Amino acid sequence: MVKSIEITKASVKGRLIVDAKVFMKNPQDFDFSPRARLEGNTLNIENDEGEPSSTFELDSEQVITAERDRMIELRVKFNVHGMHGVLIQKNPMTMTGPKSKKLAVPSWKTVLPLSM
């Protein structure tokens, strides 16, 4: 189950792109079915059941792009509160070379139809 949804950024690159953080209650939860709705200049992203939801104020260019396409591209980063604790010591040598490895980030992107 979804604990909370937070829209972090909205931008226009051909179509409206919305970045969001979704906090899950459990690492084994896979129940997330987002829905997007536009009311005036307010974008609302909610889970299928309606709770929880997040709103974001769009500017005029973003509203025109959303109304034109009737869809948004949603980029989601998943998190779980309290799963990893607090990092106390940081490694002073960050690997930035061509063979450096990045940690896996639980994220995905999708195109959502926009209801008005």
Are 25 and 83 contacting, i.e. CB atoms less than 8 angstroms apart?
no
Domain containing 70 equals 2-83+100-115
Mean pLDDT of 8-21: 94
Say which range, 16-20, 32-36, 45-49, 100-104, has the weakest mean pLDDT: 100-104
Res 86: pLDDT: 59
User: Quick check: is 93 in a domain?
Assistant: no
User: Quick check: is 51 in a domain?
Assistant: yes
Q: How many domains does the chain have?
A: 1
Q: What angle do CA 26, 114, 74 make, to 5 degrees?
A: 45
User: Quick check: is 15 in a domain?
Assistant: yes
Q: Residue 53: pLDDT above 80?
A: yes
User: Quick check: is 58 in a domain?
Assistant: yes
**pLDDT band per the 50, 70, 90 thresholds, residue 104:** low
Res 30: pLDDT: 79
Three-class HEC string of 26-47 = CCCCCCCCCEEEEECCEEEEEC
User: Quick check: is 18 in a domain?
Assistant: yes
User: Quick check: is 68 in a domain?
Assistant: yes
Quickly tell me which residue has 């226009």 as its tokens. 12
User: Quick check: is 90 in a domain?
Assistant: no
Mean pLDDT of 77-95: 68
Burial (CB count within 10 angstroms: exposed 0-12, middle 13-18, buried 19+), residue 23? middle
User: Quick check: is 25 in a domain?
Assistant: yes
**pLDDT band per the 50, 70, 90 thresholds, residue 92:** low
Residue type, 45: I
Mean pLDDT of 71-76: 94
Q: Residue 71: pLDDT above 90?
A: yes
